Amino acid sequence: MKLKALSTAMILATVPMTGAFAAAMDRSGQSIAAFLQPGNYFEAGVSVLDPSVSGKTTAMTTLTGQQIPSHATGDMAGDYYFPSAALKLQVTDQFSFGVIYDRPFGAEAEYTAQSAAFNPTGNDGTRAEVKTENLTFLFGFQPTQNWNIYAGPVYQTAKGNVALRGAAYSAFAGYDATLKEDSEIGWLAGVAFQIPEIALKASLTYRSEIDHELSTTESHSGVPLNVALGVGLEGNPAAIPAFKPGKTAVTTPQSVNLDFQTGVMADTVAFANVRWVDWSNFSIRPTEFGQAIDLASALMQQPQLKGGNLVEYNEEQWSATVGVGRKLTDKWAGNVSVGWDSGVDNPVTTLGPTEGYWNVGLGVQYSPAPNYFIAGGVKYFWLGDATALTVANPNVGEFTDNHAIGYGLKMGYRF
């Protein structure tokens, strides 16, 4: 089966489906579709996510005996956007080169409602932000028109900050940390197969984990963490630890992407993506925070606190998207898709209290000329219910009936 207007058909599966509200901190999906476009190609886009995530805190008793009633959290998920860009050059018939920029992992949370669990004052609540940026360099070898073998280095930066407030964090309410930007190198490798006559294309891409050590500044109630803890232990000065300030080790996860598309009838393609991300051993444990949590475990005789992390995930993430794209006229094309995400565990951290999702998406593409296009997409996410936890409390609230809306815009040019 041959398809007419092949170049348009090949673009259909790249109509932006917007960034994902995926498990843990997965954001961009790390697609390399632009690198697999024929000839020389450039694209740039932006995705915006507008989540609505709220819940109800669990009634609790503080260490001082204060009773904190159940309370609505308000919307704790901030809007965020992430740009992307890609350049692919077909240097010779058998060699290609590409550069892809994206922001693969991130998080943004802020509890602004007046709830003693997360925001005791009404204007100074729990908040956190994590940001990463990637530059992926790809070198491809095409021994025949059907096969593409590619690999290359990945330059990644990471940084973050966090502020813990309210009874949900027990003695750690008032803790602040700034994780300064760090840059490291990882790698990716993959293989792609295509049969252009029927718009069939399949690719399998592996990305390595990347180890960071972020210089970290920590404090409690505005003073260095070891000083604050020393004040709290005046009656037992021998217990005051000799803190070892330093760096926070963070490893962004390895992942595998499987992408597939094929023509199903004239001017129509079906496409699918399956993604695996290994969040099973992910944690963020700043140096002084870790020492303090272990000390608190001993002094408070709560062994469950020992070894606790500021953020951690214990499951692998699976996600999948399937859809159909169709050329409508010489200049217009569109697609529809359905997506699913497994989540990474339940309960989950208060800094991202959702557990997987289902979504539906719509995309449209306008091609004023055969060599360039403008495309837009929208997705609606039904976010999974989750129980929220902190390092000091295994159940601080329930987050249910939440959703998100994503938007994307992309421009592509062949030259």
- Residue 84 sits in a domain of what CATH number? 2.40.160.60
In whole angstroms, what separates CA 49 from the centre of its chain?
12
Terminal-residue alpha carbon distance, the chain? 28
User: How far is residue 144's CA from residue 122's CA, in Å, rounded to a whole number?
Assistant: 63
Has residue 379 been placed in a domain? yes
Has residue 365 been placed in a domain? yes
Has residue 253 been placed in a domain? yes
In order along its 415 residues, the chain shows pLDDT tens digits of 444 444 444 445 455 555 566 778 999 999 999 999 999 999 999 999 899 999 999 888 765 567 888 989 889 988 888 899 999 999 999 999 999 999 999 988 899 888 888 888 877 889 999 999 999 999 999 999 999 999 999 999 999 999 999 888 887 888 999 999 999 999 999 999 999 888 899 999 999 999 999 999 988 887 777 666 655 444 454 455 555 567 899 999 999 999 999 999 888 999 999 999 999 989 999 988 888 887 777 766 666 666 688 888 989 999 999 999 999 998 999 999 999 999 988 888 888 899 999 999 999 999 999 899 999 999 999 999 999 988 878 888 999 999 999 999 999 999 9
C-alpha to C-alpha distances, 273 to 320, 322, 377, nearest whole angstrom: 5, 7, 17
* Full residue range of the structural domain in which residue 302 is found: 6-414
Q: How many domains does the chain have?
A: 1
Has residue 214 been placed in a domain? yes
Has residue 1 been placed in a domain? no
Q: Residue 279: which residues within 8 A CB-CB, separation 6 or more?
A: 23, 24, 253, 313, 314, 315, 316, 317, 344
User: How far is residue 70's CA from residue 76's CA, in Å, rounded to a whole number?
Assistant: 16
- pTM for this prediction: 0.92
Do residues 214 and 162 touch, judged by C-beta distance below 8 A?
Answer: no
243-279 burial: b if 16+ Cβ within 10 Å, else e: beeeebebbbbbbebebbbbbeeebbbbbbbebbbbb
